Amino acid sequence: AVGRQLRTASAGNKRPRSVRCGNCDGCTRDDCGSCKNCVDKPKFGGLGQRKQGCVRKICSMPRVAV
């Protein structure tokens, strides 16, 4: 019973997930090809295991995912 209470209490403390706007300079920027996330992408010869966006693509107007 105690374990269940701890899990439900911590679930309410999560921050909302944000999504890129897709229109700002950061979103429309090309992949750098040199960061750890780009090096893993198949288009740069990686295995594609990380499945993360380029570190330099930082959105200036992120929105909350619904």
> Which residue has better confidence, 13 or 43?
43
Residue 66 confidence (pLDDT) = 84
Determine if residue 4 is left, alpha or beta; phi over 0 gives left, psi from -120 to 50 gives alpha, anything else beta: alpha
**What number is the average pLDDT over the span 43-48?**
96
Residue 1 confidence (pLDDT) = 64
**What number is the average pLDDT over the span 11-32?**
91
> Which residue has better confidence, 7 or 22?
22
Residue 59 confidence (pLDDT) = 96
> Which residue has better confidence, 7 or 31?
31
3-state helix, strand, coil in the chain (%, to 5): 35, 5, 60
Total residue count of the chain as it appears in this document: 66
